[in-house]
Amino acid sequence: MTNLNIDALTRRIDQKRDALIDLTQSLIRIPTLNPPGEFYEDCARLIGDRLKPNNFEVSYFRAEGTPGDSDRYPRMNVVARHAANPGPCVHFNSHIDVVAVGKGWQQEPFAADLIGDRIYGRGACDMKGGLAASIIAVEAYLELCPDHPGAIEISGTADEETGGYGGVAYLAAKGIMAKPRIDHVIIPEPLDKDRVCLGHRGVWWAEIETKGHMAHGSMPFDGDCAVRHMHAVIDKFERELFPHLASKRTNMPVVPDGAKQSTLNINSIHGGESEEFDGLPAPLVADSCRMVIDRRFLIEEQLATVKSEVITLLDGLKADRHQFDYAIRDIFEVIPTMTDVHAPVVTAVSQAIEDVLKKPATMVVSPGTYDQKHIDRIGKLSNCIAYGPGILTLAHQPDEYIEVQDMLDSAKVMAIALHNLLHGPDACLD
């Protein structure tokens, strides 16, 4: 069936408003906190049980051996597939994990209360609202086009918030979320309903350790304080590295504007004794100080250059500062990625945005990484974007919420784009 009445499809989605609210609330009420990775299987089973009656073939994959996986906290993923006829495969991927609740909430973080048009809760925006919208979009589409060409897949995957190695990376390495098995991927991350997110900046996480010599705190001249050496590193960052990074600009359409430059965040610093002890500290000179840095870089930069800028600074301190010594350890690295604006998935979603919202789509790039990095790098599939409901700046915030109307509008966009991708250039929406 090539012809599809667009009004009939959008009306069908509007009729599912209550079902969309109920599904979103059910997903939020499962506190899939990561770390440590709680209740992943419960959430995966909810998704699978929802889709199985609609003739989806449902499979569960535990990412054994990946970081954090254990019998207590299994890294469980679900992939549901509806294949009616030969043709391309369109895959909707959402992560099921959410970050820590944190402080400052006025609403109960896992109550999923509906207040006005907003559903509140941790993960409402990032990204259980997007997951629910994609499921409703597919359900509505199948009710009108049960004999569609190709295959439709929906997945709920683990650990995106901590790198995605127990989720999309694992499935991509197994060939499940990879070419040639799938052709188009839409990730309903909260980038706003009128935006197509083409990709993301790069990231390099590293731990820098400055080294010292322990001594009695009353006689610091007998030791060498690693914390003071770390202060010298930070001073170098402030005077040399941060201004240098601020001068770098990108042609990527990164949002918000502050992320159009290279950035570095000092994630944490710890020096001296263990911070887990509640009693009085011992009088010691710190012989070690460790700092974790989070460097975000642009598609115009090379990872080797990004690393050398920090290492050259540290080597300069080693040459100039008395007794300065350091070690550096890579933690995590991702190369920037950006899908071509003429890729089929970009064209299909952009046209659907115009059909639903009556305005042109905006092309953006995310300031932070998400699971597109694994689909691109491991799955070898460049035809991938992020598109979903929600406001990006609400992610990880207290009183996170998702607006019901935004989910409905995004579901309409996803359903129309799905039709166009399954039917190809000859798709017709009346």
Q: What is the pLDDT of residues 188-216, one digit of tens each?
A: 999 999 999 999 999 999 999 999 999 99
Could you tell me where in the chain the CATH 3.40.630.10 domains are found? 3-200+336-429
**Mean pLDDT over each residue of the chain, to the nearest integer:** 95
Cα–Cα–Cα angle for 299, 394, 186, rounded to 5 degrees = 55
Radius of gyration from C-alpha coordinates of the chain:
24
Supply the pLDDT for residue 278. Answer: 76
Q: Is 338 helix (H, G, I), strand (E, B) or coil?
A: strand
Q: Is the pLDDT of residue 322 over 90?
A: yes
Percent of the chain with pLDDT over 90: 93
- b/e burial code for range 244-265 (CB count within 10 A of at least 16 → b): ebeeeebebbbbeeebbebbbe
Give the CATH H-level superfamily of domain 3-200+336-429. Answer: Zn peptidases (3.40.630.10)
H helical segments located in 175-302: 226-236, 242-246
Q: Is the pLDDT of residue 1 over 50?
A: no
Of residues 166, 148, 149, 147, the one with CA closest to residue 96? 166
Give the pLDDT confidence of 83-114 residue by residue, as tens digits.
Answer: 989 999 999 999 999 999 999 999 999 999 99
CA distance 147 to 113: 37
Run of H or E residues at 374: helix 372-377
Domain 204-332 fold is Alpha-Beta Plaits (3.30.70)
pTM for this prediction: 0.91
Q: How confident is the model at residue 426 (pLDDT cuts 50, 70, 90)?
A: low
Q: Is 172 helix (H, G, I), strand (E, B) or coil?
A: helix
Supply the pLDDT for residue 281. Answer: 85
Of residues 269, 260, 268, the one with CA closest to residue 300? 260
What the block records as the tokens of 176 is: 């499940």
In the chain, the amino acid numbered 3 is N
Q: Is the pLDDT of residue 257 over 60?
A: yes
Supply the pLDDT for residue 4. Answer: 79
Q: How confident is the model at residue 309 (pLDDT cuts 50, 70, 90)?
A: very high
Could you tell me where in the chain the CATH 3.30.70.360 domains are found? 204-332
Give the pLDDT confidence of 146-164 residue by residue, as tens digits.
Answer: 999 999 999 999 999 999 9
Handedness of CA 248, 250, 256, 262 (dihedral sign): negative
Q: Average pLDDT of 256-281?
A: 88
